Chains A and B, each alone.
Chain A
Amino acid sequence: MKRVFGLLCGVVVAFSAPQSGHAQNLILSQSEISAALSHGPWPLPKQDDPSNRMSGNAAAISLGKKLFSSKKLSADGTLNCASCHRPDAGFTDGVAQAMGHTRGDRNTQALYNLKYQRWFGWDGRNDNLWAQSLRPIVRVDEMALRTTDLSEVLTGEEFAAPYSALFGSPPQLSEQQNLVNVGKLLAAYIETLTTEKTPFDRFRDALAAGDEAAAAVYPEAAQRGFRIFAGKGKCNFCHTGALFSNGEFHDAGVPYFVAANRVDSGRHGGIKALMKNPYTLAGPYSDDPKKTGAWKTRQLIRSHNDFGTFRVPSLRNVGRTAPYMHNGSIATLEDVVHHYSNIDLERLHADGELILQPLHLTKRESADLVSFLLSLTEVDD
Chain B
Amino acid sequence: MKFLPFVLLVAFAGQAQAQDLPLFDAHIHYSHDAVIQVPPEQAAKILREAGVTKALVSSSDDDGTQKLVAAAPEIVVPALRPYRRRGEIGSWMHDPTVIDYVEGRLARFEYKALGEFHAFGDDIETPVLQRMIALAKQHNLLLHAHSDADAVERIFKTWPDARVLWAHSGFDSPGKVRDMLRRHKQLWSDLAFRSDHASGKQVDEQWLAAFEEFPDRFMIGTDTFAPERWYYIKDHADYSRGWLASLPKPLAENIAYKNAEKMLGLLN
**Chain A contact residues, CB within 8 Å of chain B:** 255-257, 260-263, 265, 268, 301-305, 307-308, 345-351
Whether A351 contacts B229 by the Cβ 8 Å rule is no
Residue of A nearest to B232 (CB): A307
Shortest beta-carbon distance from A354 to chain B in Å: 11
Whether A307 contacts B235 by the Cβ 8 Å rule is yes
Shortest beta-carbon distance from A44 to chain B in Å: 33
Whether B199 contacts A301 by the Cβ 8 Å rule is yes
Residue of B nearest to A345 (CB): B87
Whether A351 contacts B171 by the Cβ 8 Å rule is yes
Whether B225 contacts A301 by the Cβ 8 Å rule is no
Whether B87 contacts A346 by the Cβ 8 Å rule is yes
Q: How far is the CA of A307 from the CA of B195 in the complex (A)?
A: 12
Whether B146 contacts A268 by the Cβ 8 Å rule is no
Given A261-B42, A262-B231, A307-B228, 9 new contacts (CB under 8 A): A255-B227, A304-B193, A304-B194, A304-B223, A304-B232, A307-B235, A345-B89, A350-B118, A350-B225
Shortest beta-carbon distance from B49 to chain A in Å: 12
Q: Which residues of B lie under 8 Å from residue A260 when comparing CB positions?
A: 37
Is the contact region of chain A dominated by helix, strand, or loop, or is it mixed? Answer: loop
Q: How far is the CA of A303 from the CA of B85 in the complex (A)?
A: 26
Q: How far is the CA of A261 from the CA of B200 in the complex (A)?
A: 27
Whether A350 contacts B146 by the Cβ 8 Å rule is yes
Q: Which residues of B lie under 8 Å from residue A268 when comparing CB positions?
A: 232, 235
A303 touching B232 in the complex, CB below 8 Å, given contacts A345-B87, A351-B171 = no
Q: Which residues of B lie under 8 Å from residue A348 when comparing CB positions?
A: 225-226
Question: In residues 208-231 of chain B, which contact A (Cβ within 8 Å)?
Answer: 222-223, 225-229, 231
10 nearest A-B pairs in the assembled complex, by CB-CB distance: A346-B86, A303-B195, A263-B228, A263-B231, A307-B232, A349-B225, A346-B87, A347-B226, A256-B228, A304-B193
Q: Which residues of B lie under 8 Å from residue A303 when comparing CB positions?
A: 195
Q: Which residues of B lie under 8 Å from residue A307 when comparing CB positions?
A: 228-229, 232, 235
Q: Which residues of B lie under 8 Å from residue A304 when comparing CB positions?
A: 193-195, 222-223, 232, 236
Q: Decide yes or no whether B168 CB sits under 8 A from chain A.
A: yes
Interface centre among A256, A257, A304, A305 (most CB of B within 10 A): A304
Whether A350 contacts B199 by the Cβ 8 Å rule is no
22 A-B interface contacts by CB (under 8 A): A261-B38, A261-B42, A263-B228, A263-B231, A265-B231, A265-B232, A302-B199, A302-B200, A303-B195, A304-B195, A304-B232, A305-B195, A307-B235, A308-B229, A345-B89, A346-B87, A347-B226, A348-B225, A349-B223, A350-B89, A350-B146, A351-B171
Whether B195 contacts A301 by the Cβ 8 Å rule is yes
Q: How far is the CA of A191 from the CA of B199 in the complex (A)?
A: 35
Q: Which residues of A lie under 8 Å from residue B229 when comparing CB positions?
A: 307-308
How many interface residues does chain B have, given as a range? Answer: 20 to 34
Q: How far is the CA of A27 from the CA of B23 in the complex (A)?
A: 59
Bits for B36-76, please: 1 = Cβ < 8 Å to A, else 0. Answer: 01100010000000000000000000000000000000000
Q: Which residues of A lie under 8 Å from residue B235 when comparing CB positions?
A: 265, 268, 307
Residue of A nearest to B229 (CB): A307
Q: Which residues of A lie under 8 Å from residue B225 when comparing CB positions?
A: 348-350
Q: How far is the CA of A303 from the CA of B192 in the complex (A)?
A: 11
Whether A351 contacts B168 by the Cβ 8 Å rule is yes
Shortest beta-carbon distance from A193 to chain B in Å: 33
Q: How far is the CA of A263 from the CA of B85 in the complex (A)?
A: 23
Shortest beta-carbon distance from B221 to chain A in Å: 10
Q: Which residues of B lie under 8 Å from residue A301 when comparing CB positions?
A: 195, 199
Q: How far is the CA of A6 from the CA of B213 in the complex (A)?
A: 56
Bits for B136-154, please: 1 = Cβ < 8 Å to A, else 0. Answer: 0000000000100000000
Residue of A nearest to B38 (CB): A261
Q: How far is the CA of A27 from the CA of B195 in the complex (A)?
A: 44
Q: How far is the CA of A344 from the CA of B118 in the complex (A)?
A: 18
A308 touching B194 in the complex, CB below 8 Å, given contacts A257-B37, A346-B87 = no
Shortest beta-carbon distance from B129 to chain A in Å: 17
Indicate which residue in B38, B42, B171, B228 contacts A308 across the interface (CB closer than 8 Å). Answer: B228
Q: How far is the CA of A308 from the CA of B231 in the complex (A)?
A: 10
Shortest beta-carbon distance from B185 to chain A in Å: 27
Residue of B nearest to A344 (CB): B87
Q: Which residues of A lie under 8 Å from residue B171 when comparing CB positions?
A: 351
Q: How far is the CA of A228 from the CA of B225 in the complex (A)?
A: 29
Shortest beta-carbon distance from B267 to chain A in Å: 29
Shortest beta-carbon distance from B34 to chain A in Å: 11
Shortest beta-carbon distance from A168 to chain B in Å: 40
Question: In residues 130-173 of chain B, which contact A (Cβ within 8 Å)?
Answer: 146, 168, 171
Question: In residues 57-111 of chain B, which contact A (Cβ within 8 Å)?
Answer: 85-87, 89
Q: How far is the CA of A262 from the CA of B232 in the complex (A)?
A: 11
Indicate which residue in A255, A302, A345, A350 contacts B228 across the interface (CB closer than 8 Å). Answer: A255
A308 touching B226 in the complex, CB below 8 Å, given contacts A257-B37, A349-B193 = yes
Shortest beta-carbon distance from B251 to chain A in Å: 22
Question: In residues 11-34 of chain B, which contact A (Cβ within 8 Å)?
Answer: 33
Shortest beta-carbon distance from A60 to chain B in Å: 38
Q: How far is the CA of A60 from the CA of B225 in the complex (A)?
A: 48
Residue of A nearest to B33 (CB): A346
Shortest beta-carbon distance from B173 to chain A in Å: 15
Q: How far is the CA of A262 from the CA of B226 in the complex (A)?
A: 14
Shortest beta-carbon distance from A207 to chain B in Å: 39
Shortest beta-carbon distance from A269 to chain B in Å: 9
Q: How far is the CA of A256 from the CA of B226 in the complex (A)?
A: 10
Q: How far is the CA of A345 from the CA of B86 in the complex (A)?
A: 8
Q: Which residues of A lie under 8 Å from residue B42 when comparing CB positions?
A: 261
Q: How far is the CA of A304 from the CA of B27 in the complex (A)?
A: 14
Bits for B223-252, please: 1 = Cβ < 8 Å to A, else 0. Answer: 101111101100110000000000000000
